[in-house]
Amino acid sequence: MLQLKWMRWHTFKMVIEKNKTALLLVNLGSPEKPSALSVAKFLHQFLSDKKVIHNNKILWRIILLFIIIPFRSFSVAKKYRQIWGKKSSVLTFFGKSCAKILNQDYNIPSFYSATYGKPSILHSIQDIIKNKNIKKIITLPMFPQYSTTTNEAVFDKIQKAMTKIDQPPTIKKIKDYHDHPLYIAAIREDINEYLKKNKNCQHLLLSYHSVPVSYNEKIYLSQIKTSTKLICQDLKIPYTCVFQSRFGRSQWIGPQINEYIIKLSEQGIKKIAIITPGFATDCLETLEEIKIQAKREFLKNGGIKCDYIAALNDSKNQLKLFKNIYETNS
C-alpha cells in the first residue's frame, strides 16, 4: 500500500515537473457534511455572494440570517442525505475524480476547487504554485454556459485570490464551452444510448438552472439556446428546454420543469426522460430535484416512466473534453 502511494505521488510529481501549465477545475461546491450546521455554513457563504444574489445588501442579509438559514438548513440537509456519497458529496467526489484521472491517465497536472466551501480557490492555487515549475493556470469553471452567477463568480474569486499571492502565476480563463464539439458530442451520445435502450420514450426534457428574469442573463440564455439546438440536431423524438431550481418569489426564467411535467402528463405523455446539460457533474440539483422530485411529481400526475440521464461526471467523454480544452489553451 505504501509503495503504491509512493508510486502515485512520484508519477504526479513527474507530471508537474514536465508541464509548466496546470488545470484548475472549479465547480460550485457543497457542504462538508449532510448536517444542518454544515449546510448553514455553506448557504451563508454561497448566498452572501453579490454575484449570486443581486438584492438590496442590507435587506437580503437580514432575510438570509434570520429566515433562510434558520429555516432551510435542516430541510436542505435532509435532501443532501438522500444523495450523499460514501465520503463526500457527489459533486465533490466527481470533481476530485476528474482531476485525479487527468493527472494519472492523461499526464495533465490537474486540481479541483470549489467556489464555495472546500477546497477553496485560494487554497487550490496555493497548492499549485508550491511547485515553482508551474507558470500558468488554466481555470475551467465546470459550467458549460456562461452566467454571472457561476462562471463570473469563479473569476471574481480568482481575482481576489491573486491579491493574496506573491508572484502570482498567469491565469487563463475559460469563459464557457457551450458549443464545444466534444461537449455537444458527449451529451448527444448519452441521449442516443438511452434512446436505443428505451425506444418507447415519448419526450425529452433538457433542464438548465434557472435565473431571475431581473438578472438579464442574455448571454446565458443565448448559449442555452445554442447548446440545445446543437445537442438535439437530428433527434427523433420531441424535446423541450426547461428550467429548474427556482428560489424565492421573484419571476425566474421558465418554463419551470415541475410545472411542465404536469402539462406533459395532461397531454397524454406518459414516458419521458430528463437530461441536465448545464451540470457537468451530478449534484443535489440533478439527483434530488430531478431524479427524485421530478420523477415523483410526474408519476403522481399520471405518468408511467420518468428516467434521469446522468451528467457526464468523470466519464471518458468528459475527460477527453477537459483534455482538449487544456491542450488548446496551454
pLDDT confidence of residue 248:
84
Q: Is 311 helix (H, G, I), strand (E, B) or coil?
A: coil
Cα separations (Å) of 116 from 40, 65, 210, 225, 286?
Answer: 12, 17, 19, 28, 18
The residue-averaged pLDDT of 282-290 equals 99
Distance CA 274, CA 270 (A): 13
Residue type present at position 126: Q
Q: In this structure, are residues 89 and 28 in contact, taking their beta carbons and an 8 Å threshold?
A: no
Task: Identify which of 108, 50, 181, 96 has the alpha carbon closest to the alpha carbon of residue 330.
Answer: 108
**SS3 of residue 176 by DSSP:** coil
The three-class DSSP label of residue 130 is coil
pLDDT for 167: 86
Cβ within 8 Å of residue 136, ≥6 positions away: 20, 21, 22, 169, 170, 171, 172, 330
Q: Angle at Cα 173 formed by Cα 169 and Cα 177, nearest 5°? A: 150
> For position 19, what pLDDT does the model report?
66
Phi, psi (rounded to 5 degrees) for 312: -65, -30
Instruction: Give the cell for residue 285.
Output: 440539483
Q: Are 162 and 126 in contact (CB under 8 A)?
A: no
Per the CB < 8 A criterion, the answer to whether 244 and 256 are in contact is yes
Question: At residue 117, does pLDDT exceed 90?
Answer: yes
Note the pTM of the prediction, 2 decimals. Answer: 0.93
Q: Are the C-beta atoms of residues 74 and 80 closer than 8 Å to each other? A: no
Phi, psi of 21 (to 5 degrees): -120, 130
Q: What is the mean pLDDT of residues 255-282?
A: 98
Taking residues 166-179, what's their average pLDDT? 96
User: b or e along 135-146 (b: 16 or more beta carbons within 10 Å of the residue's beta carbon)?
Assistant: eebbbbbbbbbb
pLDDT in tens, 231-257: 999 999 999 999 999 988 889 999 999
Residues in the chain: 330
Dihedrals φ, ψ of 139, to 5°? -95, 120
pLDDT in tens, 134-148: 999 999 999 999 999
278: Cβ contacts below 8 Å, ≥ 6 apart:
143, 144, 145, 207, 208, 209, 224, 227
Dihedral in degrees, nearest 10, Cα atoms 204, 210, 214, 216: -70
Provide mean pLDDT across the span 94-104: 98
> Given a cut of 60, is residue 58 above it in pLDDT?
yes
